[in-house]
Structure 1
Amino acid sequence: MDRHDDLARRIRLGEDSELELKQVFFSGNRVVGPRRDEFADEMAAFANGGGGTIVLGVDDKTREILGVPLEQLEVLEAWVRELCNDAAKPPIDVVIRKLELPNSTGDLVPLVRVDVARSLFVHKTSNGYFRRLGSSKREMAPDILARLFQERSQSRVIRFDESPVPRTSPDDLDVELARRFMRDGAEPLETSLRKLRIVANDEDDVPRLTIAGVLLCTQEPQRWLPHAQIQAVSYAGDRKDVNYQSDARDVGGTLDVQVMEALHFVRRNMQVWATKSGARVETAQFSERVLFEALVNAVAHRDYSMAGARVRLHMFGDRIELYVPGGLANTLTTDSMVLRQYNRNELLVSLLARCSVGANQGLGRSYLMDRRGDGVPIILDESEKLSGRIPSYTLIDDSELQLVIWSALPTATSVSTAAIKALVSALPYVGVGLEQDSGVVDQNALPAQNASAEGAAGAEHDASEEHSISDEDDSATAEDPHQTADKD
């Protein structure tokens, strides 16, 4: 679709979080509408948020394309550039384009398009600090403003994950946990901890553990950072309903422990389907490798400055929803995540890249973090192969990232191992052929019942006879020959 056609379509749909429409009024060679401060606020709101487009020459109420007088285009462009430079601090970078679109009678009329990119800085106008919410701008609350400065301040030298944590001391450190990140050598422990930025001095020159130090090198990080955990909930259905909540857990501990424990939570609650077509084939509801990548990304890239906000993992019958606190770092977008890489928490990422996954996990890597940035492509590609649907990333209010991973679907000939377990439990020889550790039942190992010499009517069964899925219900109700013998 031509970009002009796309813009015309967006105008017809009206204003949203990325589009603002403005009618322009002139008095001689002077712009008198919109008001200077109002227009500056709109540009700053887009720059402080995810960016957006302002179209000048359109009635925002009726969405009618009115146009801008051809002889006034240069005046309007100069007016916009002046406001970008003088009405906001720091100045706002924009791209100004002139174009033509058909009005209600089909005649082409000039318009001015102003594209405002998501900024690396926080912009203030004479009216304050604004951000875009839906189709309108809102003045930012102090806590939101503080987080935005933390994310974007060009003058920040120390990243948030390197910040000292109040009320901590080096004595709170678990040395064995810290040694995971140290190289062998004769260097003193304190020197190594400072080089790794696990310990840093606060503004009073008192040594403290850093955010990264607390999250990876203490036995109970939630003592100082109670929001640094994963809330995991499983629902028996496809919607969020407390009445159908089947399992729940708040996963704490160091970040590597959180990842593996959350993965274990999913393993415990997801289905595995068995299909027999020649060799036995088992299909898990979700790819463990995909979930591992998603969980590692969540704890590595979330915004730890958002007190009270946890990573949330919600399991449903047809999907998993993962919610990660924080907007996208720098100028990253949901569309560019697969192509670009940006780390909000450089120190955490560096340390997680040295943190061993452990043996025999079957996750395709030895360390938690892959510095090459392959996580998102793995999530998208492997999920699509399993479920036939591409996972979706959605940014919610520029403060939380949602990832939806779709479940694989059983085939017509597959049987849930959970269903087989329930069936086996009804048989006389409870548990025969049940591999408790793996959570998988071998259909060929279901018990064959032998008629005893003392059994009824001399009915005999071949001791090697196997029970198929179709005749298990009849088997479950057959009289146990051993019970008959006991009666005799």
Structure 2
Amino acid sequence: MHRSPGGYMHRVGDEKREMSPDFLARLFQQRRQARIIRFDEQPVPNAVLGDLNEALWLRFATQRTRDSRDGLLRKLGMANLNEEVLRPSVAGVLLASDDPRQWLPNAFIQAVAYRGTDIRPAGEQAYQLDAADITGPLDQQVLYACHFVSKNMRVAASKKMGREDTLQFDMTAVFEAIVNAVAHRDYAMQDAKIRLRIFADRLELYSPGAIPNTMTVDSLPYRQAARNEAITSLLAKCRVPDTEGLGVGRSTMMDKRGEGVSIILHNSEQLSGRAPEYSLVDGSELRLVIYAPDGN
């Protein structure tokens, strides 16, 4: 960002654009907060510790934990002080409340499966195959979103060398993409939600927020920058239940190696023959497109 006679400018792709008043206000707000505490560790003013589901926050305790509830929640970044009152943090309500929307109304995934290759007018009959607002703790949102994709994607059968089913999308890549979306989205943008769209020829995933720090779309496979340190740390402790049957090849939601984007790119291109594409939409939303194999 820099200031010029024409106002505050920022780069979107190869172009420089003037920041809108809303974008600029949000940026200044985030910078003020960043000097004090990361947004995901900010206390939620209207929440109390009793709003957190005990079973959800206790899963982050270990056998060696000797802390009280308050001490454990503070160490995990799930609670912080607000005018000398300990309250759940943004990360706390996102990972340990039954429905974070009570405090963060757009902290959910809006999922839609479409019949064709575009979004058709609402007046056209049965243009949507399925739709769901996926809510709950973030790790639950990831699993439910993966099941939504698994349920709605197409399966093509090949008779070469016997019958062989080809999935529309690689589920490990889908899992990594959704985990990245809930982990790295900008929760300060409370008027925006994660959007998951399935078409006949592709999957689109929209995550609110520009790319953090000095990263670019091209550098995503090579660099790490966590917008939400507490959330990513907690997701790295969340187990993926064996009973889910998704075949994502992970025991926990996240790892610390930062391989998610590389897995998305490699696995998806191996399946479809076409590399996924990341792009920024209006400088404030990260879009990922994963293509389906031809004829799927």
TM-score when normalising by structure 2? 0.91
Alignment partner, residue 286 of structure 2 = 401
Q: CA deviation at 1:374?
A: 0.5
Structure 1 residue matching 2:77: 3-state secondary structure: coil
- Do the aligned partners of residues 166 and 273 (structure 1) sit closer, same or farther apart at CA in structure 2, a change above 3 Å counting? same
Matches for 1:284-363 after TM superposition, within 5 Å:
284-359=167-242, 360-363=245-248
1:165 alignment partner, one of 36, 44, 55: 44
Alignment partner, residue 252 of structure 1 = 135
- Do the aligned partners of residues 51 and 318 (structure 1) sit closer, same or farther apart at CA in structure 2, a change above 3 Å counting? closer
Alignment partner, residue 234 of structure 1 = 113
1:187 alignment partner, one of 67, 77, 94: 67
Matched AA of 1:179: L
CA distance, structure 1, for counterparts of residue 258 and residue 6 of structure 2: 33
1:216 aligns with 2:95: yes
Q: CA deviation at 1:44?
A: 6.7
1:198 aligns with 2:161: no
Q: CA deviation at 1:199?
A: 1.3
CA distance, structure 1, for counterparts of residue 68 and residue 50 of structure 2: 16
Structure 2 residue matching 1:191: 3-state secondary structure: helix
1:280 alignment partner, one of 141, 163, 169: 163
Structure 1 residue matching 2:26: 3-state secondary structure: helix
Q: CA deviation at 1:282?
A: 1.2
Q: CA deviation at 1:278?
A: 3.4
Alignment partner, residue 460 of structure 1 = none
Matches for 1:59-98 after TM superposition, within 5 Å:
none
Cα displacement string for residues 380-423 of structure 1 (whole angstroms, at most 9, x for unaligned residues)? 11111111111111111110011111012238xxxxxxxxxxxx
Q: CA deviation at 1:276?
A: 2.8
Q: CA-atom RMSD, angstroms?
A: 2.2
Matched AA of 1:336: S
CA distance, structure 1, for counterparts of residue 279 and residue 128 of structure 2: 24
> Is 1:234–1:245's contact at 8 Å kept on the other side of the alignment?
yes
Matched AA of 1:400: E
CA distance, structure 2, for counterparts of residue 176 and residue 378 of structure 1: 32
> Is 2:171–2:246's contact at 8 Å kept on the other side of the alignment?
no
Q: Which runs of 5+ in 2 are unaligned?
A: none
CA distance, structure 2, for counterparts of residue 239 and residue 51 of structure 1: 24
Q: CA deviation at 1:51?
A: 8.7
Alignment partner, residue 113 of structure 1 = none
Matched AA of 1:387: S
CA distance, structure 2, for counterparts of residue 329 and residue 151 of structure 1: 11
Q: CA deviation at 1:191?
A: 1.2
Larger Rg: 1
Aligned residue-pair number: 289
CA distance, structure 2, for counterparts of residue 372 and residue 296 of structure 1: 14
Structure 2 residue matching 1:378: 3-state secondary structure: helix
Q: CA deviation at 1:183?
A: 1.5
CA distance, structure 1, for counterparts of residue 33 and residue 45 of structure 2: 24
CA distance, structure 1, for counterparts of residue 213 and residue 50 of structure 2: 35
Structure 2 residue matching 1:298: 3-state secondary structure: helix
CA distance, structure 1, for counterparts of residue 232 and residue 284 of structure 2: 21
Matched AA of 1:263: C
> Is 1:285–1:409's contact at 8 Å kept on the other side of the alignment?
no
> Is 1:353–1:369's contact at 8 Å kept on the other side of the alignment?
yes
* Structure having greater relative contact order (Cα 8 Å, sep ≥ 6): 2
> Is 1:150–1:160's contact at 8 Å kept on the other side of the alignment?
no
Question: Which piece of structure 1 moves more, 181-190 or 346-355?
Answer: 181-190
> Is 1:151–1:329's contact at 8 Å kept on the other side of the alignment?
no
- Do the aligned partners of residues 405 and 175 (structure 1) sit closer, same or farther apart at CA in structure 2, a change above 3 Å counting? same
Q: CA deviation at 1:280?
A: 2.8
Matched AA of 1:268: K
Q: Which runs of 5+ in 1 are unaligned?
A: 1-38, 54-131, 412-488
CA distance, structure 2, for counterparts of residue 196 and residue 189 of structure 1: 11
Q: CA deviation at 1:40?
A: 5.6
Alignment partner, residue 7 of structure 1 = none
Matched AA of 1:264: H
Which 4+ residue blocks in structure 1 deviate beyond 6 angstroms? none
Q: CA deviation at 1:230?
A: 0.4
Matches for 1:12-23 after TM superposition, within 5 Å:
none
TM-score when normalising by structure 1? 0.56
